[in-house]
Amino acid sequence: MKERVLIVIPYLASAAQGRELEYALAGWRRHFKEPFQLVLTGEGLPANMGEDVVLVESRRVDAVPGQYRQHLDYVSCLRKVRERFPDSEGFIFVADDCYAVNDFDMADVLFFKMLEPEFNCSPSTTNKWRQDKLKTKRALREAGLPVRNYTTHIPMWFDWEKWLKLVEEYDMDHESYVIEDLYFNTYYAGRVPFRLNRELDNLKYGVYTNRPPVEELQAAFKKKIWITNSPDGWRPELESMLKQHYDL
């Protein structure tokens, strides 16, 4: 029997918006054409997400000066998921604001995708996430590795053993890094990834503005596999279309 694919979704109740999580889960149930196991991990997990969802509670790590707390949280959450599923080969890591709106399978997840060939952040930035991007870039440069931007905001597959090796090597329980950038640039330095293109690819449409172009958004439900949003992009227009799409 084919092993069910672990789909790991990190969650923090205090940062949740509307029904994002419900729509994200509905997207996997309706459109992922593989046997799978949904896993929700984090703090304040909702108990009414369905019998097909495994809950792995993980209290937030303490804030550490100079470190991006969310990335430390990810490592803590994933360690607990690994303990719960010790025999699994790997996992898909995906945010709770990423919604599948057309059918897909593992082939669509596995092939390498990036935003751009290099990521740049100003050394003077005060944004914690951008500081982690810069820190990750420095680590990759020091190791003589590429600095492709793999922070695509769509599902990505990780091998447990490879991921755990990086956690130990970079002390990621205590030092925060951008996991996907470190992982894919380290293990797949020789690959030439596909570069996402909002206008041309069939993969992702991101809603990152508080005034999303409604006609573009409507078209994305027909032309893209995944629709994602930032906190600013969680708008009534998007929620209405997701509700209608999933009949929720």
CATH number for the domain spanning 59: value is 3.90.550
Q: Out of 13-27, 92-106, 122-136, 225-239, which region has the weakest mean confidence (pLDDT)?
A: 122-136
- State the pLDDT at residue 212: 80
Token pair for 206:
């991101």
223: left (phi over 0), alpha (psi -120 to 50) or beta: alpha
Q: Out of 10-19, 178-187, 217-226, which region has the weakest mean confidence (pLDDT)?
A: 10-19
Q: Domain for residue 52, yes or no?
A: yes
Rounded distance between C-alpha atoms, residue 116 and residue 104, angstroms: 23
Range of the domain at 153: 5-200
pTM as predicted? 0.95
Q: Domain for residue 69, yes or no?
A: yes
Token pair for 29:
């149930």
Q: Domain for residue 216, yes or no?
A: no
Rounded distance between C-alpha atoms, residue 49 and residue 153, angstroms: 22
Nearest in space to 48 (alpha carbons), one of 73, 13, 76: 13
Nearest in space to 112 (alpha carbons), one of 160, 148, 58: 148
Q: Domain for residue 212, yes or no?
A: no
72: left (phi over 0), alpha (psi -120 to 50) or beta: alpha
Token pair for 49:
């997400």
Q: Domain for residue 231, yes or no?
A: no
How many residues appear in the chain? 248
Q: Domain for residue 206, yes or no?
A: no
- State the pLDDT at residue 150: 97
- The total number of structural domains in the chain stands at 1
Binned at pLDDT 50, 70 and 90, residue 77 comes out as: very high
Backbone angles phi, psi at 10, to 5 degrees: -75, 150
Backbone angles phi, psi at 92, to 5 degrees: -95, 130
